[in-house]
A and B are shown apart, each in its own frame.
Chain A
């Protein structure tokens, strides 16, 4: 049996939230295509796609954590706040190291179309998403303690 197996209510919630996130992603991409057709470019490719995808993933992640559908009943007792903080810190450190190494080793060129900021935006968005997920997780744990009668 997997350690993170969700119970039936968690599976239902996660499926519902996943469907909504998918539809949100679909409609945002469609709107972006429509705006592009009218000549409105809010961001250059591929940054615009990155932003939309990361927004939808952040929405999905935050909602499943908020609705207690992220970790199963068996894993919930083992995961502590310190572990989450540690994982987040490791993820941020790895992202920063990758960006630093790639900037140091690759030839620096002037960006022609200004789309070189994709990696930086990706890092910033990922970091912000992880921090939001951490905060939501901590708040959810405190709420759960208050709800129990």
Chain B
């Protein structure tokens, strides 16, 4: 699975570390790391929680680019 660079850049734009984001939504840092590296497919609830925390929509973070589809 391709890396989720949109998540990484959205998180960086908010000046949040992986740990900060993980603590904010109640998961471990390893889960956020795995999502960003494409090693884990989050559930829709987790996707929504991430989007709410970063102030983005699901499409903006989790929709695949044409290159990665």
Contacts and interface: CB of A to CB of B under 8 A. Distances in A.
Interface string A57-98: 000000000001000111010000000000000000000000
Contact of A7 (B19, B31, B33): B31
Contacts of A149: 18
Interface size class of A (residues with CB under 8 A): 10 to 19
B26 A10 contact: no
A109 interface: no
Interface residues of B, number: 17
Dominant SS among interface residues on chain B: helix
A73 B33 CA distance: 14
Nearest to B18: A148
B40 A73 contact: no
A113 interface: no
Interface of A: 7-10, 68, 72-74, 76, 144, 147-149
Interface of B: 17-19, 22-23, 26-31, 33-34, 40, 42-43, 46
Given A7-B28, A8-B43, A148-B33, 15 more contacts: A7-B27, A7-B31, A9-B27, A9-B28, A9-B30, A9-B34, A10-B31, A68-B30, A73-B23, A73-B27, A73-B28, A74-B26, A147-B33, A148-B18, A148-B29
